[in-house]
Amino acid sequence: MPAGQNLTHLELMIVIVLALPVGMILTAPISGKMADVIGTKKPILVGFSLCVIAQFFLSTITADTRIGYIGLYLMLLGAGTGIAFSPLTTALMNESSVSDRAATSGLLRVMSNLGSTLGVAAVIFIAILAAGPKIAEVSSHLIPPSDLVFAFDFAFLFGMLISFAGVFLMLLVTPSEGTAHQ
């Protein structure tokens, strides 16, 4: 463990597990209120941009990166997600007719859960692909942390590109009739 990191394994797990949701919890309520005032497009763009930046930083971690930095990057990713998703939900609900809002809300929840599950699976899958033949070494001895870090760096870089695509697509969105503050 690098100098100055005197945390137990449990404390490290708590930092890693809680960093992302804490970022979301701190920003989602604020972005919802901001979207009511300035519209949905700007907070969505800011949130997606923060996700791009955070995933870039996550793609640069090494085996020697201090846990505080990793926690900060995950919190930044959570903040970006929190900033984007409240206005995104509002924009989606505003696009559906009043009679279809219950179905829209249910579909939004299903798609959000599916996206979360597929996102984790995609990161693991891409990391396994990037690690390549190093995975086979597990049967004989441990994989060096630097090889695993490279695999996850690649996975987060791929996630950053997906988030960047979201920013680009959001820039192409034009306000529809009756939608205020775009």
Convert the pLDDT of each residue in 147-179 to its tens digit.
777 777 888 888 888 888 888 888 887 766 555
Whether the predicted model's global pTM rises above the 0.85 cut: no
Q: What is the pLDDT along the chain (182 residues), one digit of tens a residue?
A: 454 456 676 777 777 788 889 999 999 999 988 988 998 899 999 999 999 999 999 989 887 888 889 899 999 999 999 999 889 888 888 888 888 888 888 888 888 888 878 877 777 777 777 776 666 555 445 666 677 777 778 888 888 888 888 888 888 877 665 554 54
Instruction: Spell out the SS3 assignment of the chain.
Output: CCCCCCCCHHHHHHHHHHHHHHHHHHHHHHHHHHHHHHCCHHHHHHHHHHHHHHHHHHCCCCCCCCHHHHHHHHHHHHHHHHHHHHHHHHHHHHHCCHHHHHHHHHHHHHHHHHHHHHHHHHHHHHHHHHHHHHHHHHHCCCCCHHHHHHHHHHHHHHHHHHHHHHHHHHHCCCCCCCCCCC
